[in-house]
Chains A and B, each alone.
Chain A
Amino acid sequence: MTSRKNTLLLSGLVVLILVAALLSMGIGPIFIGPDQIIRVIMGESSSLTFMIENYRLPRALLAILAGAGFAISGVILQGMIRNPLASPDVVGVTKGAGLFAVVVIILFPTASPLLLPIVAFLGALAVAIALIYFTRKSGAQPTTFALVGMGVGASCQALTEFIMVKYPMQANDSLVWLAGSLWGKGWDEIYALLPWLLVFIPISLALHRKLDIISLDEGSSTGLGLNVVRTRYMLLLLAVALAGACVAAIGSIGFVGLIAPHMARKLFGHQHRYLLPGAAVLGALILVIADALGRGLNPPIEIPAGIVTAVIGVPYFLYLVRQEKKK
């Protein structure tokens, strides 16, 4: 019964996201009606073709992809750490990417733009390696993970800020990247991100049973025949690969990886079989809306999508905390 309800709900959300993407493509300094967008996508040539093909369409697609990636990464981390507050930001993954990116932006301002995503991904990976190294002794305890992640994240943040204070003139350049924005992003980023997601999202979905088990307490997990430590590290690398690829593509957008899993849990319950795709669709929806808002609120000025997600995310998060307290 619930499975049928969940399937229906999921298909409903998929339809919703298509509608949202279509509408969001119309929003910006120049408003375009949905009928016109459909005609252009179908191949009709008009004066708006260039804008839709080069900016609106790729940005909507990229928002869907990255939103889904961040959300799935968040679900995995929350499941394996057994902490609803875990997310790619909290365990330091995006902060590591941020530190590496800021080093390149500020200290090597003449570096090729192609270098930035690679370096950002390496930053995320470096944090993952640090996490594995420091949690090994404790047998990859969830709490150790959370604490080490926060510590590593805080160190990365401190170094990032140190560099920004040291070089105030160049600090501005890195702010857009640190906030996370789809401005100036397009097909290149989609082609760079897509392979990662095509590999790691199906793997994540296939591991839904393991995630169900590992979300239980340690004893039950072991009792059900799971090699807990190995599974946790595997899941961690999966989450980092997803978040790292997304951060590399559009910068460290926060809150999507935290909020989308929560919303999904409310709608779909705790079974990862539905939770994973549900969060992916919701994450995509949040980012599509955030990007459209950032573009349309005060044109021609672009508000980075990461700032919009934070503005939407913080109140929702406070509401969640209140709800949890009542329980």
Chain B
Amino acid sequence: MRRTNGMKRLGHMLWTLALAGTVLLTGCGSAEQKQPAAGTDSAQTAQKRIVKHELGETEITGDPKRVVALEYSFVDGLWELGVTPVGIAQEKDKDVEGLIGKKIEYTPVGTRQQPSLEVISSLQPDLIIGDLNRHKDIYKDLQKIAPTIILKSRNSTYQENLSSFATIGEALNKQQEAEQRLIKHKEIIAEFKKKIPAGDSRNVMLGVFRADSLSAHGSKSFDGELLEMIGIKNAIQDAPEPTVKISLEQMVQWDPDVIFLAEADDALLNEWKQNPLWNNITAVKNQEVHKVNRDLWTRYRGLKSAERIVEEAVNLLYSKDK
């Protein structure tokens, strides 16, 4: 990036020259014209700032416009703050559309697990946002391309994702917008919380069916924690990990009142349905087995996604009471 650095330096010089010119001109002119000079002054202090993140501190200059996001929750955050990422790490082409609700122009930069450094560098970004869990090993490589911040998303809690959003706001030089959006987010969540009757003691199991196993999201998972916060109890309270693989027997033992199925693979579900044990589960007896959007519940995370998850959960649990 030697060349772009040079160009940046040139841009800097021109900018300083222009500034000096304006100051000189305003100095020669009348007193009332001093205002724009003061304005540019504050703009200049905002130009360079240090953003603290999971792997240290990164100096970011100006308002990043060409941002590469290596996790969906970061795309969510950027989009909510009015920035369309130039590059996104993705597994499926539909993922981004499903995340933000419309088609946007961007360059896919490979999978989230192994984003292509070559493609990222070819986009000449001015900010890269990576995930602590997936991208700490390539942090040094990303830094060589552009200022990089590493935040928590994968295997992280709901609260940690919220603080990642705040950091994205800082990096974009949009602290205020981010703060306002967070306040709005809390209001939205609080609204949904009101819709949940106090006496409801049903517990919910969040399960993703894979071809060979069911992974259940416990109370420490992103979606589990989120639902707990608004008063929807998770069936798995004492799991050591956010996600646990469980068998049908364990499912019966936990005996959830409601099951949210993020169904990925039919094979296992069909097999379980044949088993008499399945019909012993309270949720099955009460016909409280609901399908939910897997990508939304388990892969996207982020602010807007959290709001959508809560909305879907509340609708599924209480829509017929209305």
Total number of residue pairs linking A and B with CB closer than 8 Å: 83
Task: Judge if A47 is at the interface, Cβ distance under 8 Å.
Answer: yes
> Contacts A49-B3, A302-B110 known; A29 to B116 CB distance under 8 Å?
yes
Minimum CB distance partner of B210 in chain A: A168
Task: Judge if B108 is at the interface, Cβ distance under 8 Å.
Answer: yes
Q: How far is the CB of A162 from chain B (nearest CB, A)?
A: 13
Q: Are B215 and A55 in contact (CB under 8 A)?
A: no
> Contacts A30-B119, A301-B111 known; A173 to B134 CB distance under 8 Å?
yes
- Interface hub of A30, A165, A181, A301 (most chain B Cβ within 10 A): A301
Contacts of A302 in B (CB 8 A): 110-111, 114, 116
Task: Judge if B144 is at the interface, Cβ distance under 8 Å.
Answer: yes
Digitize B55-79: 1 where CB-to-A-CB distance is under 8 Å, 0 elsewhere. 0000000000000000000000000
Task: Judge if B252 is at the interface, Cβ distance under 8 Å.
Answer: no
Interface residues on B, range: 20 to 34
Of the residues A29, A45, A184, A301, contact of B137 by C-beta under 8 Å: A184
Q: Are B117 and A184 in contact (CB under 8 A)?
A: yes
Q: Are B114 and A176 in contact (CB under 8 A)?
A: yes
Q: Are A169 and B119 in contact (CB under 8 A)?
A: no
Task: Judge if A38 is at the interface, Cβ distance under 8 Å.
Answer: no
Q: Are A300 and B119 in contact (CB under 8 A)?
A: yes
A170 to B111, CA, bound (A): 16
Task: Judge if A227 is at the interface, Cβ distance under 8 Å.
Answer: no
Digitize B90-112: 1 where CB-to-A-CB distance is under 8 Å, 0 elsewhere. 00000000000000000011110
Q: Are A167 and B2 in contact (CB under 8 A)?
A: no
Q: Which residues of B contact A (CB under 8 A)?
A: 1-3, 108-111, 113-119, 121-122, 133-134, 136-141, 144-145, 155, 213, 215, 241-243, 245
Q: Which residues of A contact B (CB under 8 A)?
A: 28-30, 45, 47, 49-51, 54-56, 109, 113, 116, 165, 167-170, 172-173, 176, 181, 183-184, 186, 188, 295, 299-302, 304
Besides A55-B121, A169-B243, A183-B114, 6 other A-B contacts (C-beta < 8 A): A29-B122, A30-B118, A50-B2, A184-B114, A184-B138, A299-B119
